[in-house]
């Protein structure tokens, strides 16, 4: 009798072995799948963060371009270089102080001559600055430390009549970086954002305080030969997901690296491997409990070994083989003794839990994908539109102008470009305030939108300067159209502090021709025509020829 019991137990153990091995395989596959989802989630978060940083940098560039493109500022800087008259320095100081108003993230604007000597600044104690060789003819953005704060500095040359007359430097508060590294949503308890720039030695230099080292900004470095460290891979331009990689404290982490190539900045989203393992184990704990229940119930049920037990178990074993292949269907209804029915019910709970967990993870992935798509759409809008007027910005206008020039040359059609400047706009700001000045810009922008044809393109290219492209429009048709626009703007009624007023505009017109063969020359000639219109008394249209003439 004792031998019979031993044989029964041995038979049950041997029968349960395939089930146990199958469930163990399922655990292994499920753990790998869960870890892969964590990696994809981390990669999606880092990509969204990179897009946010690029969007913030584009806004810095647009602000710099708006300030640097002011015609009066570039003209006064050229005259300062020629005469060193203090009156021009005072005019420059007034212009940048006016540009500084209303920009909350802008900390300082300073203007320097071609030898890096300070000409004017909005700060009583401007930060020292020296011209670097690679800043001579291009805009540049870099990070510096100012006390406890990290400052984003944007430098652009001031060009007048194709000559660099000086440089403008704008210092911005980097709340867009500090808010990013402080917001750790989706990174768990141990997660962290790492943000670094390149040190003069080539090493990765952390540019913000770290979660576990608050004094790391512009002090802590990671050598570039540490290829196993995520921040080093980011600075090398490798956008990858790294497992069990050492962080700056030599702890193993799961990390996603991103690289901002134009700025040479590195970004890393990381979470400790210990926390990742804990999350995976927590998700698989229920599976292990269900497995143990199945094995225990199988041993007890095997003591009876009857027809009512063997058949349902065989069905359940066959279904387990399907589960190991990823088929998470509900198991068949169990017959036989109560123990077998309970075993089947526990297995159903386990499968239902797996399905629910998979659906939840898929829902989160879909949600993150939707959020990423929405963020990309908003970033695209910010990259092409002026935030105050809703018109296109200068960068988008230049892209469109190159396209229209190519089309005009391909089909032999006419193409005109117009630069418009609001007359005495500074007087409006001085008399009524910048809020009224912004309203004037918005009302005129709405008028331009309603007036232009569908094929025309209008953009705000400076503080009070607008530019639009008129495809397939010869000079005489453009002049007739511009005169209607000029009269229409002069008839717009404005009111501030119970005082009614009107504004006028001056227009510079240039047509694609041998005298204006490309985008740069076309814009320059239109700008010269505008200058002539303002010199001749404003509120008029001047078309460019070899000698600009009023039309």
- pLDDT tens-digit profile of 392-430? 999 999 999 999 999 999 998 999 999 999 999 999 999
Sheet bearing 204-206, strands edge to edge: 221-222, 204-206, 192-198, 265-272, 252-260, 241-246
* Phi/psi of residue 229, nearest 5 degrees: -95, 130
Task: List residues bridging with 393 in a β-sheet.
Answer: none
Most confident of 19-33, 284-298, 526-540: 526-540
pLDDT for the residue 162: 86
With cut-offs at 50, 70 and 90, classify the pLDDT of residue 347. Answer: low
With cut-offs at 50, 70 and 90, classify the pLDDT of residue 175. Answer: confident
Determine the number of helices (DSSP H) and then strands (DSSP E) in the chain: 13, 19
Q: Mean pLDDT throughout 241-257?
A: 91
According to DSSP, residue 213 is labeled B
Exposure string of 244-254, with b = 16+ CB inside 10 Å and e = fewer, is ebebbeeebbb
Q: Domain spans of the chain?
A: 69-176, 394-550
Six token digits for residue 265: 């900045």
Which of 283, 286, 306 has the alpha carbon at shortest distance from 294? Answer: 286
Q: Please give the Cα distance from 38 to 377 (Å, whole number).
A: 25
Q: Please give the Cα distance from 542 to 479 (Å, whole number).
A: 9
Q: Can you point out the beta strands (E) in 354-513?
A: 415-422, 457-460, 465-471, 494-496, 499-501, 505-511
pLDDT for the residue 365: 63
* Phi/psi of residue 269, nearest 5 degrees: -110, 125
Q: Please give the Cα distance from 468 to 307 (Å, whole number).
A: 88
Mean pLDDT over the full length of the chain: 82
pLDDT for the residue 3: 47
pLDDT for the residue 262: 82
Which of 64, 67, 77 has the alpha carbon at shortest distance from 160? Answer: 77
Q: Please give the Cα distance from 361 to 233 (Å, whole number).
A: 29
pLDDT for the residue 136: 54
Which of 409, 427, 325 has the alpha carbon at shortest distance from 72? Answer: 427
pLDDT for the residue 13: 60
pLDDT for the residue 280: 75
pLDDT for the residue 1: 47
pLDDT for the residue 312: 64
Classify domain 394-550 at the CATH class level. alpha beta
With cut-offs at 50, 70 and 90, classify the pLDDT of residue 513. Answer: confident
Task: List residues bridging with 125 in a β-sheet.
Answer: none
With cut-offs at 50, 70 and 90, classify the pLDDT of residue 508. Answer: very high
Q: Please give the Cα distance from 418 to 467 (Å, whole number).
A: 6
Helix (H, G, I), strand (E, B) or coil at 160: strand
Query: Topology of domain 69-176, per CATH?
Result: Beta-Lactamase (3.30.450)
- pLDDT tens-digit profile of 453-468? 888 999 999 889 999 9
Exposure string of 519-550, with b = 16+ CB inside 10 Å and e = fewer, is beebbbbbbbbbbbbbeeeebbbbbbeeebee
């Amino acid at each position: 009798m004792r031998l019979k019991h031993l044989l029964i137990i041995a038979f049950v153990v041997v029968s349960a072995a395939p089930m146990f091995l199958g469930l163990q395989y399922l655990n292994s596959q499920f753990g790998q799948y869960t870890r892969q989802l964590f990696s994809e989630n981390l990669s999606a978060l880092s990509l969204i963060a990179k897009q946010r940083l690029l969007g913030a940098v584009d806004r810095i560039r647009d602000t710099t371009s708006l300030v640097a493109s002011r015609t009066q500022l570039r003209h006064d800087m050229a005259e300062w270089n020629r005469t060193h008259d203090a009156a021009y320095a005072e005019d420059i100081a007034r212009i940048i102080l006016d540009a500084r108003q209303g920009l909350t993230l802008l900390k300082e604007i300073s203007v320097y001559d071609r030898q890096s000597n300070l000409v004017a600044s909005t700060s009583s104690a401007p930060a020292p600055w020296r011209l670097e060789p690679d800043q001579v003819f291009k805009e540049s953005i870099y990070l510096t430390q100012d006390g406890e704060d990290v400052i984003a500095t944007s430098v652009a040359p001031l060009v007048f009549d194709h000559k660099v007359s000086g440089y403008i430097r704008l210092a911005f508060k980097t709340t867009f970086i500090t808010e990013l590294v402080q917001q750790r949503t989706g990174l768990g308890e141990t997660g962290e954002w790492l943000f670094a720039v390149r040190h003069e030695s080539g090493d990765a230099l952390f540019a913000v305080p770290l979660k576990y080292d608050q004094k790391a900004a512009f002090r802590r470095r990671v050598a570039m030969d540490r290829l196993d460290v995520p921040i080093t891979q980011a600075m090398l331009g490798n956008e990858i997901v790294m497992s069990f990689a050492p962080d700056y404290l030599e702890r193993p982490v799961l990390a996603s690296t991103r690289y901002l190539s134009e700025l040479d900045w590195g970004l890393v989203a990381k979470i400790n491997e210990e926390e990742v393992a804990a999350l995976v184990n927590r998700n698989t704990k229920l599976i292990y409990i269900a497995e143990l229940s199945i094995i225990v119930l199988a041993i007890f049920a095997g003591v009876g070994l009857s027809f009512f037990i063997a058949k349902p178990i065989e069905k359940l074993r066959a279904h387990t083989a399907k589960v190991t292949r990823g088929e998470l269907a509900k198991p068949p209804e169990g017959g036989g003794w109560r123990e077998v029915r309970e075993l089947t019910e526990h297995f159903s709970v386990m499968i239902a839990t797996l399905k629910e967990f998979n659906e939840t993870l898929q829902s989160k992935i879909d949600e993150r994908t939707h959020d990423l798509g929405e963020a990309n759409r908003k970033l695209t809008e910010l990259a092409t539109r002026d935030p105050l007027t809703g018109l296109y910005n200068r960068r988008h206008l230049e892209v469109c102008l190159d396209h229209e020039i190519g089309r005009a040359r391909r089909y032999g059609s006419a193409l005109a470009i117009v630069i418009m400047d609001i007359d005495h706009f500074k007087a409006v700001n001085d008399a009524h305030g910048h809020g009224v000045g912004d309203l004037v810009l918005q009302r005129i922008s709405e008028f331009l939108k309603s007036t232009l044809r569908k094929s025309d393109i209008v953009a705000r290219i400076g503080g009070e300067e607008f530019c639009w492209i008129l495809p397939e429009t010869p000079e005489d048709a453009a002049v007739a159209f511009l005169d209607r626009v000029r009269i229409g703007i002069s008839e717009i009624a404005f009111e501030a502090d119970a005082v009614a007023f009107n504004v006028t505009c001056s227009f510079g017109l240039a047509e694609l021709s041998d005298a204006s063969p490309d985008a740069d020359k076309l814009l320059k000639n239109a700008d010269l025509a505008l200058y002539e219109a303002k010199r001749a008394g404003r509120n008029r249209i001047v078309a460019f020829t070899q000698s600009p003439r009023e039309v």
